Structure 1
Amino acid sequence: MTYVIHGATGAQGAPVVAALAAAGKAVTAVTRNADAVVEGARVAAARYSSVEELTQAYRGAEGVFVHLPVTAEEERQSYARNIVAAVGAARPARVVFSASGAPTDPAAGGAAAFLAGGLADSGVPHAVIAPTLYLENLLMPYVLDAVRERGVLPYPIRADFPVSWASHLDIADVALTLFDRPDVTGVVSVGQYPAITGPDLAEAFGAHFGRHVDFEAITPEQMRVSLAPVLGEGPAAGVAGLYQAMSTLPDHSISPENSAQKLLGITPRTTRQWLTDIGL
């Protein structure tokens, strides 16, 4: 049996492939390009838009790791429906879904919530990884260049807004453990706890780079302008909308009751640990 990994050539799936391969597991990388080369994995071409292709990829799998790509919400909802249909038809042994920071509460609506609910209704053993914000967001040029050139870390959150940051490496650690822990089901929150603020982030970057770094709160609109050339206007507007909604909250912290720390004994990396681990 094999573990089927979506986004195996991307930022989220690649660390999961690496972790499984290092553990001696058979890995199938799901990509849109059948000619792609993924170290440590065989490649299977399957599109989110095809229930048939997804079903074929999932059939007989020991585990499936899935997340929804950053694209228009209408597309994400279509992809979520197709994944649920394919899981129901193929019946893999286990599914681990990373919500990538999107809300999974049915009351919130949206593609991630639909996918989480669909997995629950399918009867297929599953777990949902629920991170808040990714540390990898801080590698965007508009952030990292400002740190290096001006000694400023710009980000669209208030200076007093605590966040339970997590990295893609942390998600891979949790996914690998969840595949081996069928007793853990439902939502597993992943992120630093206690949550940290923007100035805490700036201090960690400053310590890593050996210079003073200040935090600079920017607006979601400023973020949208910076992201549009990279993601496209639609996805950039969607991301900015999430940060605008987030600005009304008191914090973006995980709950310790369903955290990876409590349920799995996994403590996410500190910001400085993460910067060291990625070799920045």
Structure 2
Amino acid sequence: MKILVFGATGSQQFNVIGEAKKKGAEVIAATSSGNSFSKLSQAGATPVLANLADADKILEITKGIDAIAFMIPVSLPNPFDGLQYSKNVIDAAKVNGVKKIVWNTSGWLEAQKIGSPVDDIKLDVLAYLKNSGLDYVIIEPTIYMENMMGPFCAPFITNERKLAYPTPEAMPIGWIASRDVSAFVVEAIYNSDLKADAFKISGLENLKGNDLASQFSKGLSEEIVYYPQKPQEFGEILKPFVGEAGASSVAAYYESLQNAIEYPSKFNPNMNEVLKKIPVKMTSLADWAKDNKDYFIK
């Protein structure tokens, strides 16, 4: 099995390399920067330089590929580019006889367009993929545990023993580990029964803020308390990483949650049904925190 991975330099797709290698796959990892070659090679992949905007290059690197693990880049300066980038990959896959595309959508897809370019473009990609004639599986994860390694959260844990996140304490979330999502992607590639399927996935625990801090405390063997971060504070910390417009947009979303009467669902209560079709050993929040203790507690 020869698998081409997009987005492997980031935390959401990096573990696809290791999970695919466990199955004996040959992994090709596309990257737009030669600076990533060493990291990808050390993980066991063969890196190739390719920009998603270059349709000819995408056509070239998909020759001889059996399956593609795909993801739209998260922080595109122009979110609308995501549709053309996806078309370039899907079209190349069709021409070169790729057997399956598994798309990690970086969040649950909306039921309809909501006026947010990042979310709305994904629905256009969904329609294009469905009409492509290719076998596909769509993996829709909730919020990554790795988000807590971000600059808006990790320093608070390290310095103040506070788990800072801009969601209200009362809002439950089924946090999921990146490695688990990668395992779903790889298992979906290898499951020949899955040909036009989509799965909303989450962790097995639906944790409110204080429960999250409690599980984190258990994993770190340290007393951690939940700190519902003000969206404006979160946005200011995020600004140097995603720019002012991006930070403002994300902060506005979390502001809307602060004032919400009903919270959006971030948990799939039917994960046992998903796991019957795609068997993955799930990671608890406490175990994830324990595995990453050295990152948080210096």
- Please confirm whether the aligned pair reaches a TM-score higher than 0.5, indicating the same fold: yes
- Counterparts of 1:75-94 in structure 2 under 5 Å? 75-94=81-100
Identify the match of residue 254 of structure 1 among 247, 265, 268: 268
Aligned CA distance change for structure 1 residues 259 and 46 (closer, same or farther; 3 Å): farther
Identify the match of residue 214 of structure 1 among 225, 228, 233: 225
Measured in 2, the distance between the counterparts of 1:243 and 1:132 equals 15
Matched, 1:144 2:158: no
Measured in 1, the distance between the counterparts of 2:158 and 2:53 equals 40
Residue matched to 1:274: 288
Measured in 1, the distance between the counterparts of 2:190 and 2:136 equals 12
- Counterparts of 1:44-123 in structure 2 under 5 Å? 44-71=48-75, 72=77, 73-108=79-114, 110-123=120-133
Residue matched to 1:125: 135
Measured in 2, the distance between the counterparts of 1:156 and 1:163 equals 12
Structure 2 unaligned blocks of 5 or more? none
Measured in 2, the distance between the counterparts of 1:67 and 1:210 equals 35
Aligned CA distance change for structure 1 residues 174 and 231 (closer, same or farther; 3 Å): same
Work out whether residues 8 and 31 of structure 1, in 8 Å CA contact, stay in contact via their aligned partners in 2: yes
TM-score by length of 1: 0.89
Aligned CA distance change for structure 1 residues 259 and 122 (closer, same or farther; 3 Å): farther
Work out whether residues 219 and 288 of structure 2, in 8 Å CA contact, stay in contact via their aligned partners in 1: no
Aligned CA distance change for structure 1 residues 210 and 241 (closer, same or farther; 3 Å): same
Q: CA deviation at 1:78?
A: 3.6
- Structure 1 stretches of 4+ with a deviation exceeding 6 A read none
Work out whether residues 66 and 100 of structure 2, in 8 Å CA contact, stay in contact via their aligned partners in 1: yes
Deviations 1:127-146 (A, max 9, x none): 11111111111011331111
Work out whether residues 3 and 65 of structure 2, in 8 Å CA contact, stay in contact via their aligned partners in 1: yes
Counterpart residue type for residue 13 of structure 2: G
Task: Tell me the secondary structure at the aligned position of residue 4 of structure 1.
Answer: strand
Task: Tell me the secondary structure at the aligned position of residue 130 of structure 1.
Answer: strand
Q: CA deviation at 1:169?
A: 0.5
Q: CA deviation at 1:234?
A: 3.4
Measured in 1, the distance between the counterparts of 2:156 and 2:217 equals 12
Deviations 1:220-261 (A, max 9, x none): 332221111123223333433443455544232225179632
Measured in 2, the distance between the counterparts of 1:234 and 1:76 equals 18
Measured in 2, the distance between the counterparts of 1:4 and 1:32 equals 14
Residue matched to 1:15: 15
Work out whether residues 108 and 200 of structure 2, in 8 Å CA contact, stay in contact via their aligned partners in 1: no
Measured in 2, the distance between the counterparts of 1:112 and 1:63 equals 20
More displaced, 166-175 or 245-254? 245-254
Percent identity reads 21
Q: CA deviation at 1:107?
A: 4.0
Residue matched to 1:264: 278
Measured in 2, the distance between the counterparts of 1:222 and 1:151 equals 18
More displaced, 65-74 or 122-131? 65-74
Measured in 2, the distance between the counterparts of 1:235 and 1:43 equals 29
Aligned CA distance change for structure 1 residues 241 and 131 (closer, same or farther; 3 Å): farther
TM-score by length of 2: 0.84
Work out whether residues 188 and 263 of structure 1, in 8 Å CA contact, stay in contact via their aligned partners in 2: no
Work out whether residues 31 and 44 of structure 1, in 8 Å CA contact, stay in contact via their aligned partners in 2: yes
Aligned CA distance change for structure 1 residues 111 and 34 (closer, same or farther; 3 Å): same
Counterpart residue type for residue 217 of structure 1: P
